[in-house]
Amino acid sequence: MAILQILEFPDPRLRKIAAPVTVFDAELHVFIDDLLETMYEAEGIGLAATQVNVHKRLLVLDVSENKDSPHVLINPSFEVIEDELTEYDEGCLSVPGFYETVSRPKTIKVSAQNRSGASLELNAEGILSTCVQHEIDHLDGKLFVDYISALKRTRIRHKLEKDQKKTT
């Protein structure tokens, strides 16, 4: 297993659109396990392949208290079940140290494939719904900072660029 490096905003590679997964082989399974290990090590509740510079449509998440309920979603999509929105103070491992309130559909139906390629569906609400939508956004090159004001986004970009100069 391996800990993978997480890209940070405003890295342009976070803007790439991920391609569907078509091959469910041992190499994919190794990558899924690395993604899970990287998420747990970084203490995140989700991680999308895009964030580790792999531009394939897959993500992992675990919103459980005891960090013992990993989910793997491959080629995920979702349908909004109710029009109601929910607000959450979102953070992102690719935007370290910043949290902003984002409003998203509260209840969704997620369709995806598991690590063997079998279809799966799940209904999500609350933090699971928020997290799935946040991760699917990554696969489409979007970040939670795209939902906040341009002024706040620019401030965050400048602070992170300064930090990145110090550490690379």
CA distance 168 to 152: 24
Nearer to ligand GNR, 40 or 117 (CB): 40
Q: Is 145 a residue that touches Ni ion (CB under 5 A)?
A: no
Name which of ligand GNR, Ni ion, none residue 113 binds, using a CB cut-off of 5 to 8 Å depending on partner kind: none
Candidates 92, 102, 112, 124: give the one binding Ni ion (CB under 5 A): 92
Identify whether 87 is a catalytic site residue. no
Which residue ranges make up the site for ligand GNR (CB under 6 A)? 44-48, 51, 88, 90-94, 130-131, 134-135, 138
Nearer to Ni ion, 28 or 92 (CB): 92
Query: To 5 degrees, how large is the angle CA 7–CA 45–CA 76?
Result: 80
CA distance to 8, 14, 29, 50, 94, per residue, from 167 (Å): 12, 19, 32, 22, 15
Q: 78, 130 in Cβ contact below 8 A?
A: no
Q: 113, 71 in Cβ contact below 8 A?
A: no
Name which of Ni ion, ligand GNR, none residue 130 binds, using a CB cut-off of 5 to 8 Å depending on partner kind: ligand GNR
Three-state DSSP class for residue 87: strand
CA distance 137 to 77: 10
**Candidate segments 35-43, 54-62, 91-99, 151-159, binder of Ni ion by CB under 5 A:** 91-99
- State the minimum distance, in angstroms, from the CB of residue 26 to Ni ion: 27
Indicate which residue of 8, 65, 135, 161 is catalytic. Answer: 135
Other CB atoms within a 10 A radius of the CB of residue 92 amount to 24
Name which of Ni ion, ligand GNR, none residue 62 binds, using a CB cut-off of 5 to 8 Å depending on partner kind: none
Q: Which residues bind Ni ion (CB under 5 A)?
A: 92
Which residues form the catalytic set?
A: 135
